Amino acid sequence: APFTRASVSCTVQSQKSTNANNSGTLIYDSLSVVAVSHVSLPTTGSMQIFVDGVNFGAYSDDQYVQIGDRNCTSSLWLSDSSLKCLVPPGISENNSVTVAGPYETPASLSAGVTYAVNVTSGASTILVPTTGGVSVALVGTFGMSASSVACRVGGTAAESSLWTSDSSMSCVIPAGVDASPSVTVTFETRKTASIAADMTFAKPNATSLSQNAVATTGGSTLTVQGTGFGMVDATVRSRLGLTACVATVWVADSSLMCRVPAFAQGTGPDVLALAVSLPGSRGFSTASLSANATRYTVTSSSWSLPATGGSVLTVFGSNMGMASPSMAVRVGDSACESSAWVSDSSVLCTIAAGAGAGHAVRVSLAELEEQAGSGASYSQPEVTSTMRSNVPATGGASVLLHGQNFGSTGYSVGARLGDTACESSVWTSDSAISCVSPSFAPFTRASVSCTVQSQKSTNANNSGTLIYDSLSVVAVSHVSL
């Protein structure tokens, strides 16, 4: 047997020798394991491998092979340099291969073979609630016994792991929020490669709010009810519209609180969205809920505006935002020459030229519009003089009305002589209207008036008065009757 110490002796004519100081001792060459035919073994065992080496010696029933700390199911000597082994089941890695038996010292090949364990597929449940508690099946090679087998989802241990067979096991998913967590199965002290399971934790879903209106000035606390916010504080975030909440506090998987930020647009139903996000392995998952933000309001008032425009109109209200947003003001159908946000309660408008009375003042913020009554009126048109003081009773004469506040463009105008409308009226300028006089009774005084955009004029000191030409008898057809 290799590496065996053997004393050397002899007999001469049946007489045995003696050895001085143990000088007659030999050591057989030591055995050595140099290679194995397979380095990756099935967890089920029952594979034949060949162990190659030197000085295995002559055949002996006592020779055997070990894989790690387990004897092969069977071992067979083939030659001084080869043994055959039927491997046992196992799951460990980097196992030594040892040849032992009738040897003073066994020989080993360290880290010679590894059992091939792995997870090939898993997560029969695609969508998992953030509360966990769902059992998912895994497929792979898990060994022939349930010895210390366990799985992890992401960085968290499963609530429980159950070995079923060499090819299947299941684990109860723990609470989590990752979008696509990996699944790792451990066996005793070794770990498999992770796989990206065909599963994902449910996205956060906001279902209701503690209030359906928030002021644009911000500062209030909004409680959000829903699902999928996680079982622990996983850096949950929320925002209103495009503005992040000042602070977001996780309360439970079904509740969180948002400190409402100030936002720059007056928004209303179905405009302001509350979004909740949780960090995941593939970025952020979001969910939105339409909410009612307090509609901004404008205060009804009465405004007297110069027809030439250019003056600054202040519109007061509330919830107009805490910054200068994209906003506009209109008087009637005319946009202001410029609009400027001042504060949460007021905006300014430089009015355009116009005419008429009872105009609505409208303030637009974001996609909404609010009206401040119909109390805006331009200065009343005023007739101060006419180009002529008398006209023929037959009508058809051109009369030019002079005055002010007739408007800066061709508005709808109408001139009247007394109670009778002119045959035609044409806007000429802010200070002139042309009129074709109607027929009238002679020597009648007729006041001159006009309307601009349905707004009636005033006459200064009765200056707008015409006298129809007086009648005169000049002849008769017969002087003798």
What pLDDT was estimated at residue 175?
A: 84
Here the tokens at position 76 are: 């067979």
Helix (H, G, I), strand (E, B) or coil at 120: strand
Q: How far is it, in rounded angstroms, from Cα 31 to Cα 97?
A: 13
> Is residue 22 over pLDDT 70?
no
Question: Residue 455 forms beta bridges with which residues?
Answer: 452
Q: How far is it, in rounded angstroms, from Cα 459 to Cα 448?
A: 8
Q: How far is it, in rounded angstroms, from Cα 374 to Cα 359?
A: 5
> Is residue 128 over pLDDT 70?
yes
Residue 55: enclosing H or E segment and its boundaries? none
Q: How far is it, in rounded angstroms, from Cα 253 to Cα 256?
A: 8
Does the model's pTM come out above 0.85?
A: no
Here the tokens at position 215 are: 């002021």
Judging by beta carbons within 10 Å of its beta carbon (0-12, 13-18, 19+), is residue 251 exposed, middle or buried?
Answer: middle
Encode pLDDT of 319-349 as tens digits. 776 665 667 889 988 899 998 888 878 888 8
What pLDDT was estimated at residue 269?
A: 40
Average pLDDT over residues 235-250: 82
> Is residue 236 over pLDDT 90?
no
Q: Flag the least confident range among 18-32, 131-145, 221-235, 363-377.
A: 18-32
What's the mean pLDDT when you consider all of the chain?
A: 79
Here the tokens at position 363 are: 């303030």
Q: How far is it, in rounded angstroms, from Cα 271 to Cα 354?
A: 33
The half-sphere exposure of 332 on its side-chain side, counting CA atoms within 13 A, is 16
Q: What percent of the chain is modeled with pLDDT above 90?
A: 10
H helices present in 236-383, as ranges: none
Encode pLDDT of 145-165 as tens digits. 776 688 888 778 888 888 888
Here the tokens at position 118 are: 């792995």
Average pLDDT over residues 366-379: 77
Q: How far is it, in rounded angstroms, from Cα 144 to Cα 42?
A: 10
Confidence band for 98, pLDDT divided at 50, 70 and 90: very high
**Total count of residues recorded for the chain:** 481
Which of 96 and 241 is assigned the larger pLDDT?
A: 96
Q: Residue 201: phi, psi to the nearest 5?
A: -75, 145
Q: How far is it, in rounded angstroms, from Cα 239 to Cα 228?
A: 16
Write the CB contacts of 200 (distance below 8 Å, at least 6 apart in sequence). Answer: 126, 127, 128, 178, 179, 180, 181
Cβ-contact 263, 217 below 8 angstroms: no
Which of 290 and 386 is assigned the larger pLDDT?
A: 386
Encode pLDDT of 204-229 as tens digits. 888 878 876 676 667 778 888 888 88
The neighbour count for residue 476, using CB atoms within 10 Å, is 7
* CA distance to 40, 41, 75, 259, 329, per residue, from 67 (Å): 12, 10, 11, 63, 87
Cβ-contact 137, 38 below 8 angstroms: no
Residue 324: enclosing H or E segment and its boundaries? none
Cβ-contact 281, 200 below 8 angstroms: no
> Is residue 268 over pLDDT 70?
no
What pLDDT was estimated at residue 259?
A: 87
Q: What is the DSSP letter of 394?
A: T
Cβ-contact 151, 185 below 8 angstroms: yes
Question: Residue 225 forms beta bridges with which residues?
Answer: 208, 255
Average pLDDT over residues 398-416: 85
Q: How far is it, in rounded angstroms, from Cα 98 to Cα 428?
A: 116
Residue 434: enclosing H or E segment and its boundaries? strand 432-436
Encode pLDDT of 164-201 as tens digits. 888 888 888 888 877 677 778 877 666 665 665 667 77
> Is residue 50 over pLDDT 90?
yes
Write the CB contacts of 242 (distance below 8 Å, at least 6 apart in sequence). Answer: none
What pLDDT was estimated at residue 270?
A: 39
Average pLDDT over residues 91-100: 89
What pLDDT was estimated at residue 63?
A: 84
What pLDDT was estimated at residue 323?
A: 63
What pLDDT was estimated at residue 281?
A: 43
Confidence band for 51, pLDDT divided at 50, 70 and 90: very high
Which of 26 and 114 is assigned the larger pLDDT?
A: 114
Q: What is the DSSP letter of 322?
A: S
What pLDDT was estimated at residue 87?
A: 94
Write the CB contacts of 284 (distance below 8 Å, at least 6 apart in sequence). Answer: 237, 277, 278
Helix (H, G, I), strand (E, B) or coil at 321: coil
H helices present in 19-110, as ranges: none
What pLDDT was estimated at residue 23?
A: 63
What pLDDT was estimated at residue 125?
A: 54
Q: How far is it, in rounded angstroms, from Cα 371 to Cα 43?
A: 79
Which of 125 and 328 is assigned the larger pLDDT?
A: 328
